[in-house]
Amino acid sequence: MRKLPVVVLVLTLVLTALLAGQALYEWEWSRAMWMTTAFVAVEVALVGVLVLSRLKRLDERLEELSRADPVRPRLVEARPPVRDHFAWLREEVTRTNVFVTMVVGGGVVLSGVLWVIDQIAQRTVTPSRESRLARDLHTIAPPADGLVPPEGVLIAEDLGEGERDDLWLLLTGRPGPGSAP
């Protein structure tokens, strides 16, 4: 394992931890989030480098052990041939490739099933159900005259007369009841 990448990753890990701590101390949340994200990324990279180097050493040890074993070459020779599970996907001139045909056919069948479901859904909604739904939704409908209060309603008790008229003009677009014509 090369030491330089590990040293650089460890130094980066320490630096991002210090910068994240400083950002948290100064209440700079955005920078703290970026530094902790960088910290986690460097931590994952460091773990990846260490795990891969360990796996490489294990592979080398297994290779050494297999070279010393006299029975292993005979076992390798006696293995059955490797089966190609996806040979049917390879393009050959002598046979028809069915993969695309199956995908397109599946799409056509799925479209047909969805069309039938759509037709059933359209037929099940009747005008009586729509009118019942409208009746049920009427209770939560907004008022027919809108959300602006009528002219006789006091808009804000703590506003002065001139401010109340200005607010009325802003809300309704008409001069307030107390304003002079």
Using CA atoms, how far apart are residues 117 and 123, in angstroms rounded to an integer? 10
Using CA atoms, how far apart are residues 108 and 100, in angstroms rounded to an integer? 12
Using CA atoms, how far apart are residues 54 and 44, in angstroms rounded to an integer? 15
Among 39, 68, 97, identify where a domain stops: 68
> Which pLDDT does position 115 carry in this prediction?
93
Residues 6+ apart with CB under 8 A from 181: 175
Evaluate whether residue 80 is within a structural domain.
Answer: no
Dump pLDDT digits (tens) for 124-145. 777 777 888 888 888 888 877 7
The amino acid sitting at 2 is: R
> Which pLDDT does position 140 carry in this prediction?
85
Dump pLDDT digits (tens) for 27-85. 888 888 988 999 999 999 999 999 999 999 999 888 887 777 777 777 778 888 888 88
Among 50, 68, 86, identify where a domain stops: 68
> Which pLDDT does position 106 carry in this prediction?
87
What is the rounded average pLDDT for all residues in the chain? 81
Domain residues for 50? 3-68
DSSP code for 96: -
Using CA atoms, how far apart are residues 117 and 108, in angstroms rounded to an integer? 14
For the chain, how many structural domains are there in total? 2
Among 68, 87, 102, identify where a domain stops: 68
- A 10 A CB-CB count for 147 gives 7
